[in-house]
Amino acid sequence: MQNTKIVRQNTEIEIQDSTLLVGLPGVGHVGKLVVDHLIEQFEAEKLLEIYSTSFPPQVLVDENSTVRLVSNAFYTFQVNGKDILLLAGDQQSTNSEGHYELCDLYLDIAEEYGVSRIYSLGGFPTGQLDHVDEVMGAVNKEELTESLKEHGVTFKEKEPNGGIVGASGLILGLSKFRDIDAACLMGYTSGYLVDPKSAQSLLAVLSSILDIEVDISELEERAKEMEKIMANLVEAKQQQQQQTLPETPPSDEDLGYIG
């Protein structure tokens, strides 16, 4: 990939038979919130950074007015004797070709670190402001469903109806050619705002699958803040609906269609 650059941070860590968690920006930033939270809590070590012309043409500015290029990165931590690999970052590709090329690269790196199972994490948009404490799944091998159901993952025929767009879906499809077991776990989210409440639901299921304990207090605080925002949105919507109601009751002629 001539338009992609890999900058390795640590070449001494030995990782074998690992599990990869993919949490890139997407609907409700659900997957990103989960992976970023794990990176911070377990003080995951950065392995490498990926720069690509398929990312948006921009730099990000920090609190010191210093810029850096948009990038994605692989991290790792070990818990209960298990090696966990994480893919996190700023952006997904802005074009279809870039999506395929980058996902192939992500899988090359996954194979390099001996990944035997992949969980891509994302959000399932409901279009509703009310929270649904549920995690939907999709897999690249049918036999994976039963074990995931034991951890609370739900599967619905032909859902998501429109398929899974972006890295979360492509990694599932492409990993099948490499004989790597993969599942996509999606927290229910409105799809309108960053959703730490959905991230909590997803993290609870993921913690059960990986058999690890995760402190979710920070996510809980963010969820409470978001609940206040959501409550204000619901109230504003209700007020708007009331304002659009007719001021006078309908006449008998208007009700003639009721049988």
Domain range list for the chain: 4-215
* pLDDT number for residue 244: 67
pLDDT above 60 (res 188): yes
Q: Which residues pair with 93 in a beta bridge?
A: none
- What is the per-residue pLDDT across 93-146, written as a single tens digit (0 to 9) for each? 999 999 999 999 999 999 999 999 999 999 999 998 888 999 999 999 999 999
* pLDDT number for residue 257: 38
Q: Which of 71-80, 84-93, 128-137, 226-235 has the lowest mean pLDDT?
A: 226-235
Q: Which residues pair with 124 in a beta bridge?
A: 188
pLDDT above 60 (res 51): yes
Is 220 or 29 the better-scoring residue by pLDDT?
29
72-79 and 181-189 as β-strands: parallel, antiparallel, unpaired? unpaired
Please compute the mean of the pLDDT values over residues 218-242 and round it to a whole number: 74
Q: What are the residues whose beta carbons fall under 8 Å from the beta carbon of 10, sequence distance 6 or more?
A: 45, 46, 47, 48
Mean pLDDT of the chain: 89
pLDDT above 90 (res 258): no
Cis peptide before 25 (omega within 30 of 0): no
Confidence of residue 91 (pLDDT cuts 50, 70, 90): very high
Please compute the mean of the pLDDT values over residues 180-199 and round it to a whole number: 94
Are the CB atoms for 171 and 121 separated by under 8 Å?
no
Confidence of residue 192 (pLDDT cuts 50, 70, 90): confident
Please compute the mean of the pLDDT values over residues 141-163 and round it to a whole number: 94
Distance of CA 111 to the CA centre of its chain: 21
- What is the per-residue pLDDT across 28-40, written as a single tens digit (0 to 9) for each? 999 999 999 999 9
Q: Which of 41-45, 174-178, 195-199, 235-239 has the lowest mean pLDDT?
A: 235-239
Query: What token pair was written down for 85?
Result: 């690999």
Q: What is the CATH number of domain 4-215?
A: 3.40.50.10900
